[in-house]
Chain A
């Protein structure tokens, strides 16, 4: 284990390289690599990394980057890549293909506002647009969370009970380009943690078969239900992955959600990614004033942790969801999921759309949101908290 001061991108690059190298005694690792701000340093790091058995292929677009991952994973290699914003948008066709082929690929999504108009700063609209692509999704809030989640992502993705790709997201610039102290495990420990990658449906010359082809509705129905059933096994498999993580590395990363002061909270904030870290500070400060306030960080967006959310928010009187994303014609995307999860509970649930296009969501912004929430007797349509100056 080494403690380093690193940017989110550098930390993610290291975690991917460690995971790739850990598969050297099986079919190695492979990635298609294509640059886009603010993710570029990840693929540059990978291009510079030396693998005993692995290839990082510079390609001509994101569509091809995911294509290379699909081909590599179908050949049994551990496959991964990274992208952002319009890169994810362009990659989309193959992102769906990877999910539907049940390939355990890991993709780092460095969240950046989709253009046009062009904007390089964070919001989550890019990866959340892919929520229906049969991928697991995790939104990380610190660099340690990121490294740990990337390593767990391979374990969960490649587990024979899951076999689905995983997207690990971080905030563009706020995480990708700022430095934090982070424990990066040694290769030996990662080797111990990650079993060799086995893709059971891989192309195998002893069992010649063709992938793809046309199906009938009944087969497609079964295929989609299989994916849903695999998603339903994620809580169990993730729990095991966390336990094993603790056994190998001596720390227990956050799972699907992380709760802070939620036990007796009457007012509850729900947030994700780095906004959750800012919200945590505000909640802690308010707690010193004896306010009954708590924070629920939703880290795992797919599968959506309904049971955990229901259980944690049970005692709350009012809930505010901070959404750094927006589904035009609906509202915040986390709010939509929470509303579906809490339907019929009668709790006051208010959506606050904030930080769109990378505006800085400061503690003051969150204080104002809490004041608004505390003063409410009923919820309204999603509220826009514009913060950019």
Chain B
């Protein structure tokens, strides 16, 4: 690839998203973030599940994997553990990550697997044409909640914090520059970084979603302490505002660090056992 410009991460595949879909903004932010971090495509793998948002890997000049619905994180974990030098970015929808794949979100976060997880949160199942997701506000009428949604919505950032993610942020797809900055921080973070990007679905959440969210946008106050869960929690599950920025960040050994640490403790300065040593353990001595 010659040089690092956002355009150079673009592929020949034309996005099939609806005109006005928030996911275009997310894609453009990712192009920028990758270019500014000067990340080589051959060092990067973008893994997704299934959904409108999960089409994204095909549009990024890097290794891509459009996997199964809800299964991006285990596959990303495998890729990272097998090849720790790779930058592994998991992407997908709110349904993908909080509904059918919700359990993986918990385990990837609590293990502090060194991954970046970008959720394109449109508060709906877009690809299957407009059914309520766990992020859909209570009371909303959708294709699957004909008379109103009886369930309270969850905030993916609140989940990430409680699951043990070591970096949690929120962005808005309409702010390409700001979201790119957040992506750069998330990708640079060592450990499990979760970035929730509010990314409107113009087709199933209505044309006004963009405008409504923009009117609700706030930033974190000056002097905000992002290392405290309690302060981060205050900016989750917000009703009338949407606060963007890095809500939470702490340092903690990653899964790979812990694995190496355990091995070091068990082995100390000793050489690892040879095959002969191992076989000896199974040979009976009379």
A163 at interface (Cβ–Cβ under 8 A)?
Answer: no
Is the CB–CB distance between B100 and A86 below 8 Å? no
Residues of A within 8 A of B145 (CB): 47, 58
Give the Cβ gap from A201 to chain B, nearest Cβ, in Å. 30
B69 at interface (Cβ–Cβ under 8 A)?
Answer: yes
Is the CB–CB distance between A35 and B128 below 8 Å? yes
Please give me the residue from chain B that is nearest to A49 by CB atom: B146
Give the Cβ gap from B132 to chain A, nearest Cβ, in Å. 6
Q: Identify A86's interface contact among B69, B128, B143, CB under 8 A.
A: B69
Is the CB–CB distance between A61 and B144 below 8 Å? no
Interface of B is mostly: loop
Residues of A within 8 A of B50 (CB): 118
A44 at interface (Cβ–Cβ under 8 A)?
Answer: yes
Please give me the residue from chain A that is nearest to B134 by CB atom: A60
Q: Identify A44's interface contact among B70, B99, B134, B144, CB under 8 A.
A: B144
Cα A35 to Cα B125 in complex, Å, equals: 9
Q: Identify A61's interface contact among B66, B70, B132, B151, CB under 8 A.
A: B70
What total of chain B residues lie within 8 Å of the partner, measured CB to CB?
Answer: 19
Give the Cβ gap from B223 to chain A, nearest Cβ, in Å. 39
Chain A 11-47, CB within 8 Å of chain B: the 1/0 string? 0000000000000000000000101110010011001
Residues of A within 8 A of B144 (CB): 33, 35, 43-44, 47, 58
Is the CB–CB distance between A44 and B143 below 8 Å? yes
Cα A107 to Cα B151 in complex, Å, equals: 25
Cα A250 to Cα B70 in complex, Å, equals: 47
Residues of B within 8 A of A116 (CB): 68
B164 at interface (Cβ–Cβ under 8 A)?
Answer: no
Please give me the residue from chain A that is nearest to B67 by CB atom: A116
B227 at interface (Cβ–Cβ under 8 A)?
Answer: no
A48 at interface (Cβ–Cβ under 8 A)?
Answer: yes
Residues of B within 8 A of A90 (CB): 69, 100
Q: Identify A48's interface contact among B68, B99, B132, B146, CB under 8 A.
A: B146
B209 at interface (Cβ–Cβ under 8 A)?
Answer: no
* Other 17 A-B pairs with CB < 8 A, given A35-B129, A58-B131: A33-B144, A35-B128, A35-B143, A35-B144, A37-B128, A40-B129, A40-B131, A44-B144, A44-B146, A47-B143, A47-B144, A47-B145, A58-B144, A60-B134, A90-B69, A115-B68, A118-B50
Q: Name A residues whose Cβ lies closer than 8 Å to a Cβ of B.
A: 33, 35-37, 40, 43-44, 47-48, 58, 60-61, 86, 90, 115-116, 118
Q: Name B residues whose Cβ lies closer than 8 Å to a Cβ of A.
A: 50, 66, 68-70, 99-100, 102, 125, 128-129, 131-132, 134, 143-146, 151
